[in-house]
Structure 1
Amino acid sequence: MTETAVPRVLVVDDDDNLREVMTLILEQGGFQVKSAWDVNSALGLIGCQTFDVLISDLHMPSAGDGLTVVSAMRHSNAKAVTIIFSAYPEMKAAASAILAQTDDIIVKPANIGNLVELVREKLLKGKSPPRVLASLATILEECSEATIDDWLSRVRKEDQVLTVWLDDSIRSAHLPQLLRDLVFRLRHPQPLGSRALASPSAAEHGPARRVQGYTASMMVEESRMLQVSIFQPSKTT
């Protein structure tokens, strides 16, 4: 990007209202902005256009969607500044693994009025130099057992989930294959613009939980705790 060029920003978020507000704020701040509502549309734009900045939600309909978009941007334009949003405050403290791939993480709801200032600051500093770390897939594969143990310890402390009593082995039975599916997806990314294959383990998990008596809110909370367990800082030390 030259000094006179207008920085180009890609905003990715499945929340229509938030995506539109961020786009408007960035445009008023002097940026050229394109937006995408899901991974496939984001990958399509990344594959055919050049961007100086990526701002993406971490938690979209499928697990790992935000990191899929970040990875695609890294491969397409390694110099682009990448900023991700997370709806969960715990992710700010557990962001070490994520920050190996991104330049900043913002917890929703954030004061997006400061978004223009943040983007300008990141562009002025330039992209962070790459860190030599093990791939996320390798870290996740090596720490799968520890991840499951950490997740179980979090679940045991959550009264909302534990209103349905399950033996630990039954409660976590889906996780080994789910984590293997996630590792495979990270190591074998789909071509830009293609639809990623769904995890069979994840597809079976929902119906099984309903039979076990889980409510939708319980499943969401359980999923949230798994995301925190996957990205906890101890995985990267």
Structure 2
Amino acid sequence: MSSSPATAEVAAPRLLLVDDDTSLLRLLTLRLEANGYEVATATSGEGALEAMAEARPELVITDLRMEGMDGMALFRLLRERHPGLPVLILTAHGSIPEAVEATREGVFGFLGKPFDADELLTEIQRALSLGGERRPEAAEWCSRIRTRSPAMQAVLDRAGQVAATEAGVFIRGASGTGKELLARAIHDASPRSQGPFVAVNTAAMPEGLLESELFGHRKGAFTGAERDHTGLFREADGGTLFLDEVGDMPPGLQVKLLRVLQERRVRPVGGTQDIPVDVRIIAATHRDLEAAVGAGDFREDLFYRLNVVSLTLPPLSERREDIPLLAETFLEELAARYGRELTGFAPEALATLSEAPWPGNVRQLYNVVEQVVALATTPLVPDSLVREALDSAAAPMPTLAEARRAFERDYLERLLTITAGQVRRAAELAGRNRTEFYRLLSRHGLDPARFQE
């Protein structure tokens, strides 16, 4: 009988076990190796960090209570250095508050000792199915993000690591830095890539409308609700929901969003039953949310729920090596769109672009190039035309969220002027209770006493 063709050997999944109980380590190692896993061990959190380079695990299983560095401290360091690496915590001292805290911070799973062996194996399989730190090649997911900047590449490397997991992602960055573009790239690199990607700017619509847009509504729930509306959470079911400018979300909606994230169920406005949803959340803001939490404008529990892995996009002024690349890319794209025969920028024009301050970041650069394409009369764009476009863009068109914030501040100042700083009367005119009105004033740094003079 002829032998069958040789098959390629599949590498065993690599696990790192961390526990100061050496007897338990030996027992777990034997059991997991018998189930086809390659196992490395460490007897302390410090030892686990030293073992990472050689072990290259796809999953870390650690005890919670250990001498020196405990399991949560180890997890936090691993999250910083290896954000896509799932961590499973085992403990004989487990409690519901500890489990809630651990999972809120992004721990994959939390099992109490003594644990059921089958349950542990199930959790391991579930964690490994997310892909660990394996990530796709750049061409497969972030080809639309053009960069030569080490700072930007570091962000993309971290984003690529976390994309393969289910961890919530929080993107920080000034307006125009490309937060939605990065969010879409993370979605494209994730196991949810075949599902929908749904984006919403939470600062661009009033609270009542935003609640209906996010969670849906039933026919007749309010005036004008002539038919059922699905809502963005259900539209994004099986995919990713991108919440842009989440830092401007009204307090009432923050409570409802937190409930949905905790329970993974939504209740449409006017509805009586919850509907399960399976959605990954990527949130973004230009605001300092730590300061907003301290000021009471943003819920701390919601902040930690969203901020599992944080990515910060550098402003264009900190990635100037990308300006010529982006400008030429935009020029080629826009010239093709408008049917213009343009070959590029003159060297002096590229130098001017590279030295400009760019307060509006990549979005402003795109707008300047679009103006140049519309006005160019020669194939090679001259420096004079670039300078003219920059001068006209010195005060770039604000985004809808920025315009809404400016209007809101002006409106509050007018109310306080009319009422001579009487908060109760100003809140009545605004149709808000005093607590909410004080939050609005705090958000915009307005002191009613200044208007009493």
TM-score normalised according to structure 2 size? 0.27
More helix by share: 1
| Pair member with larger Rg | 2
Q: Of the two structures, which has the highest relative contact order with CA contacts closer than 8 Å and spacing of 6 or more?
A: 1
TM-score normalised according to structure 1 size? 0.49
